[in-house]
Amino acid sequence: MAYKVGIVGATGAVGQELLALFAKRNFPVGEPRLLASARSAGKKVPFAGAEWTIAEATPDAFAGLDFAVFSAGGDISRTLAPEAVKRGCVVIDNSSAFRMDAAVPLVVPEINAAALASHNGIVANPNCSTAIALMGLWPLHLAFGLKRFFAATYQAVSGTGAAAMRELEAQTKAWAEGRPLEAQVYPHQIAFNLIPHVDSFLDTGYTKEEMKMLNEGRKIMALPALRASTTCVRVPVLRAHSIALNAEFEKPVDIAAARAAIAAFSGAELCDDPQNKTYPMPWFYSGKEKCGVGRLRQDTAFDNGLALWVCGDQLWKGAALNAVQIAEALFPA
């Protein structure tokens, strides 16, 4: 069976990865309807051996579609997703617009695919850092019972979009040529720098991005009492996020059992041989479907604690791949 599929934000970084992944995973797309802003309408985008014309994303553009993946920001999702649902189109939303809505399932298929059964036309995709972190934390939770964790993220510029990737490349080239570095996407230069500021700041001093790890983690894992504290940092890496995690569990942690739990989990691969300099790095996890988990060791601050390092492609498991996996669960071939 072939499906009529809409992609909102088809010209953006995540939209382009969605098209690539639908093709790579042989998803039965019978008719792609590629949607974007009015200024992008009329552009041509290649897919499945043909060129397809971008149309403007309007309410009526969703008529006749089986589902649409939204990757154009929260404002567009809040405006157009309900309109798509009215026209019989299921929405898989990559923005933060509906993630914490009690009526909308927030889904990582390896963890809570069963929640898809309760959708009312909209399914939310989690934040990129949350999805990647949970590829390490979820199998360990099943083995030992997760209580709380601390996280420090090392977030690639791909999380901001294609313009940020171009800015990092341009600044790096300018530095090599001895020219001034211009910052437009970020408040400071990102080349050769770290910016401990992802998303807007709240009155608590945390950013919205940092609170997503706690709030979304609670919802996805069905752990309302989970506690977490996160510091999010933008780093001069083009693609793939890395996250340092220190987690405390209900049960005593056994390192061999922890490694076995990671190795057996479908969303991750164990990459943990530090004596041979083998550990997850963004260079090797760009364009990979599974996230890498390594540097597993007993935590020296927590009782029943484990320290670990997780690395995953922000544009894939952190966004496009997770959305495609949701589509595969909802619309089987």
pLDDT tens digits, 118-150? 999 999 999 999 999 999 999 999 999 999 999
Nearby residues of 41 by Cβ (< 8 Å), 6 or more positions away: 54, 55, 56
The pLDDT value recorded for residue 21 is: 96
Going by C-alpha positions, the residue among 293, 31, 327 that lies closest to residue 139 is: 293
CB neighbours (10 Å) of residue 24?
A: 13
Q: What is the pLDDT of residue 11?
A: 87
My answer on whether 174 and 92 are in the same domain is no
Instruction: For residue 84, give the CATH number of its domain.
Output: 3.40.50.720
pLDDT value of position 12: 87
Tally the domains of the chain: 2
Q: Supply the pLDDT for residue 190.
A: 98
Q: Are residues 191 and 281 in the same domain?
A: yes
- If asked whether residues 150 and 241 sit together in one domain, one would say yes
CA distances from 322 to 51, 70, 317 (A): 25, 13, 5
* Adjacent-strand bridge partners of 3: 29
236 and 178 within one domain: yes
Domain identity same for 299 and 324: no
According to the model, what pLDDT value does residue 47 have?
Answer: 86
Burial-class residue 34 by CB neighbours within 10 Å (0-12, 13-18, 19+): buried
- Res 174: pLDDT: 98
CA distance readout (Å), 273 to 153, 276, 277, 279: 22, 6, 6, 6
- Confidence (pLDDT) at 234: 98
> 3-class DSSP state for residue 103?
coil
Rg (CA), the chain: 20
The pLDDT, as a whole number, for residue 262 is 98
What pLDDT sits at residue 39?
86
* Confidence (pLDDT) at 326: 98
Asked if 122 and 135 sit in the same domain, the reply is no
232: domain range? 130-313
Residue 245, CA distances (Å) to 143, 226, 302 in order = 17, 14, 12
Would you state the pLDDT for residue 68? 98
Alpha helices in the chain (DSSP H): 13-24, 74-86, 109-112, 128-144, 162-176, 208-221, 255-264, 282-285, 321-330
Q: Are strands 305-312 and 241-249 parallel, antiparallel or unpaired?
A: antiparallel
79 with 195, same domain: the answer is: no
Query: Which uninterrupted H or E stretch holds 61?
Result: none
Q: Give pLDDT, residue 144.
A: 98
pLDDT for 223-236, tens place per residue?
999 999 999 999 99
When the pLDDT of each residue in the chain is averaged and rounded to a whole number, the result is 96
What's the confidence (pLDDT) of residue 325? 98
In terms of domains, do 97 and 157 share one?
no
**Co-location of 215 and 87 in the same domain:** no
120 and 145 fall within a common domain: no
User: Which parts of the chain register pLDDT below 50?
Assistant: none
Residues 116 and 136 reside in one and the same domain: no
The CA distance from 309 to 196, in Å, is 19
- Active-site residues: which are they? 128, 241
CB 98 within 8 A of CB 118: no
User: The CATH number of the domain where 263 resides is what?
Assistant: 3.30.360.10
Check whether residue 110 and residue 217 sit in a common domain.
no
